[in-house]
Chain A
């Protein structure tokens, strides 16, 4: 009864909200089908949709912006918890062992250009750290999809490519708390404490997940999918919230929950959470586009082109070195090199965090531009290594 009364009083508002939300989601559904037909990753299309409807864009959304903003936050959390669920703690540790030197090269080659560009643009140290993260991390989502679409899952260089992605994701668990602490404008001490807490938590969770994975998993273990969905989603939000309160960043908390849960529960959790992730992550990308003024895109385009040029070259170098180190042949090295170019969800997460906390506002449009350009470039050049030799006739 109270529910009915409540909704009656906000009737017109609810109607507008529902219409706006419905229109957005329906539109995204069509975009998703288009992306599938064109064999393109869907992230750039979501971003473009957000840009089109955002401030000063084609259409104005007023009623649903608050709702989408909350949904966007949940989207980040779900993106990260699914990432954690996809990798088991043992996979992370073995990747770390084998790929640590590559991870270091990757970090240095790709973070430094971002930091340098931000410093040269006079945006200050915090923006430099943010842009370093934006240019550093390749998009696991886009790259895994491309490898699948191009039929390269069986290729010998594929574990090397995935290995680099795993290391980057693990590095984010240290990087995000550092950025969060910097953005909170704490002194050197609070930044140091945040990073120490993060390193400590990651280490504890990795060890705990390998030793006591079953017990941790039992916390949400349930035979029926419905209670698993609620339990897993609830636990994730809870830990993410606590992590945010401790200034370790909600995203990292969610990632660690994903790592700690293992076995068959993790498999079922992936199944039940995937539709939720798809929904809320779409909201996240659209919201990022919405909150970016399309008019600013043109202004940052030269800088974005420069960043794309530099940071694609550095990724190519990273991939080539990584593949050579794994004993991959020359053609495989080039495939690895260009596979790593696309940036995506992480760059957007970092930019959203930074802009939300009041760092240089141009980071938003710059990241949108940079992500679109690297994904576009990646989609083009990733098809090249196959084109350069005669195709088998049976294709």
Chain B
């Protein structure tokens, strides 16, 4: 899991609570520019582009509805997965990537990723968890799974089938 993601640089996300409105998450890009996302209580998002000269000020704020935010997340998330997928498949043939849902009746809905022991039991790795359109890359063993999450699994076709069976509660 670690090795496949080593090329991904660690990105600091600064969260600021906005009492009565929601939360603002700001991140600094390698270029030095900064962008942010305001998530409001009512589900609206704002994409914020910060001013290059005045680090405290937003240069622009674009309002996104829940659907629009989901679409943007999907586009960004999809390209990231495609890039990672092609990089992986270049390195090792026979490697597959698949998104598996956590069904509502899964024994692991509400438990941690570590509890599934998928890596030990199948050899496949869970490299990301997608929840409501936003992906958490490289989730740790303490990551809490919820029903309707999508887990992104990398491994052989057989191992991925085994992971699906474990998540569905069909084996041990």
Contact = CB atoms under 8 A, between A and B. Distances in A.
A163 B59 CA distance: 22
B36 interface: yes
A329 interface: yes
B20 interface: yes
Interface stretch (B49-57, B71-79, B88-96, B147-155): B49-57
A166 interface: yes
A379 to B, nearest CB: 19
A249 B46 CA distance: 38
B57 A335 contact: yes
A328 B19 contact: no
Interface in B38-63: 38, 41, 46, 48, 50, 53-61
What class of interface size applies to chain A in its complex with B? 20 to 34
- Identify which of B16, B38, B50 gathers the most chain A CB atoms within 10 Å of its CB: B16
A261 to B, nearest CB: 14
- Identify which of B18, B38, B56 gathers the most chain A CB atoms within 10 Å of its CB: B56
A151 B61 contact: yes
Contacts of A270: 41
A156 interface: yes
B17 interface: yes
A320 to B, nearest CB: 13
Contacts of B57: 152, 155-156, 331-332, 335
Contacts of B54: 329, 331-332, 389
A92 B19 CA distance: 8
Contacts of A395: 60
Contacts of B16: 156, 158-159
Question: Considering the complex of A and B, which 6 residue pairs feature the smallest CB-CB distances, nearest first?
Answer: A154-B48, A332-B56, A151-B61, A156-B56, A86-B20, A154-B58
27 contacts: A86-B20, A86-B41, A91-B20, A140-B20, A144-B20, A152-B57, A153-B18, A153-B21, A153-B38, A153-B48, A153-B61, A154-B38, A155-B58, A156-B16, A156-B26, A156-B56, A158-B16, A159-B17, A159-B19, A162-B20, A166-B20, A329-B56, A331-B54, A335-B57, A389-B53, A392-B60, A394-B60
Interface of A: 86-87, 91-92, 94-95, 140, 144, 151-159, 162-163, 165-166, 267, 270, 328-329, 331-332, 335, 389, 392, 394-395
Given A87-B20, A154-B26, 16 more contacts: A86-B19, A91-B17, A91-B19, A152-B61, A153-B18, A153-B58, A154-B24, A154-B48, A154-B58, A155-B58, A156-B57, A159-B16, A166-B20, A332-B56, A335-B56, A395-B60
